[in-house]
Amino acid sequence: MQWRDKKVLVTGAEGFIGSHLTEVLVQKGAVVTALVKNNFQDNVGFIAEFKPEIQKKLKIVFSDINDYNAVADAVKGQEIVFHLAAEISVPYSYVNPRTFVQTNVMGTFNMLMAAKEHGVQKMLHMSTSEVYGTPDSVPIKEENQLKGQSPYSASKIGAEKLAESFYSSYDLPVVVVRAFNTYGPRQSARAVIPTIITQALFRDKIFMGNDKPTRDFNFVDDTVAGLIKVIESDKLYGEVVNIGSGKEISTGDIAKKIIVLTKSSAKIVQDKKRLRPKNSEVMRLLADNTKVRKLTGWKPAVDLEEGLKRTIDYIRTHPQNFKIGQYQI
């Protein structure tokens, strides 16, 4: 597939994964429109970190996926849509579940309707491994049972099912990607790896919740490469695809690795306010990535230690991006 001059819309382009994806697409020669959540400061998020020559080639639209008319205007004329915009914090979903249903379910409905109305050639909906909950078996295949163990995961399950219905009912060429735990530069301290790194670098204690759950951590460059490989394929319309490293490690062991890599003397301390409700904690996430490997040829290229080093370097040189010492949900 040729990306040069391809008209592409990325929602959530100002965010962690969205900014990396947007940057790569511009470098590939695509004509990219970045849909950025409307805000009174005209804040473009991580797009501000792009080189000037990348920013100049980018069209930025301030909008909100909860506004159908605005979404339809952004989608009109686009050939490919990457839908990444979402409310993403599991802890915050306990506090404000209505926002997650509104944005992740109804916002996705708006995107699907606009894509259908304007006849986009391909659409990718970004989902999450959280939809699996604590799995009955690992590694987790796409056919595994879905479990709404948090309002966040429930809202993403709802969004996935809407995408499935638009493929089945309207032949919308949409594919769902369930990304496992992506990490890397630009990720906020709401996620486990950045929150551990910031504390290891700048504090004498590392406050954590449960250190027993295991996760499948995938470096952001690999996740982005996977998204592009998936959308380039014509074999995946109506399908769900896992993108993960195929390896798991406990959050406690990640903390120990980060302490070694940062040469930190910080001590690990359990913080009860960081614990998920008992029945909401997802204890294991490990991707079976056979499907994406077989159908697209994608495979992860950055191992965990190298990815952690790159992430540590970013946080060390961008402390202004992090609220050091504050627990963010």
> Considering just the CA atoms, what is the radius of gyration of the chain in Å?
19
Helices (H), the chain: 16-27, 52-56, 68-75, 90-95, 97-100, 107-117, 151-170, 192-202, 220-232, 251-262, 290-296, 304-317
- pLDDT recorded at residue 209: 87
Specify the pairing of strand 214-215 against strand 249-250. Answer: antiparallel
Q: Encode pLDDT of 200-219 as tens digits.
A: 999 999 999 898 999 999 99
Distance between CA atoms of residues 128 and 255, nearest Å: 23
Task: Choose the catalytic residue: 152, 167, 183, 314.
Answer: 152
* pTM confidence score: 0.95
Domain 7-184+217-243, what architecture?
3-Layer(aba) Sandwich (3.40)
Q: Encode pLDDT of 109-149 as tens digits.
A: 999 999 999 999 999 999 999 999 999 899 999 999 999 99
Distance between CA atoms of residues 40 and 192, nearest Å: 29
- pLDDT recorded at residue 326: 66
One of 2.130.10.10, 3.90.25.10, 1.10.150.300, 1.10.10.10 is the CATH number of 192-213+248-283+303-321, namely: 3.90.25.10
User: Known catalytic residue: 152?
Assistant: yes
List every span in the chain annotated with CATH 3.90.25.10: 192-213+248-283+303-321
Strand partners, 10: 34, 82
Confidence grade of residue 304 (pLDDT, cut at 50, 70, 90): very high
CA distances from 47 to 17, 51, 58, 60, 311 (A): 11, 9, 9, 9, 18
The lowest-confidence range among 184-198, 240-254, 257-271, 274-288 is: 274-288
Cβ–Cβ under 8 Å, residues 54 and 27: yes
Q: Encode pLDDT of 6-59 as tens digits.
A: 999 999 999 999 999 999 999 999 999 999 999 988 899 999 999 999 999 999
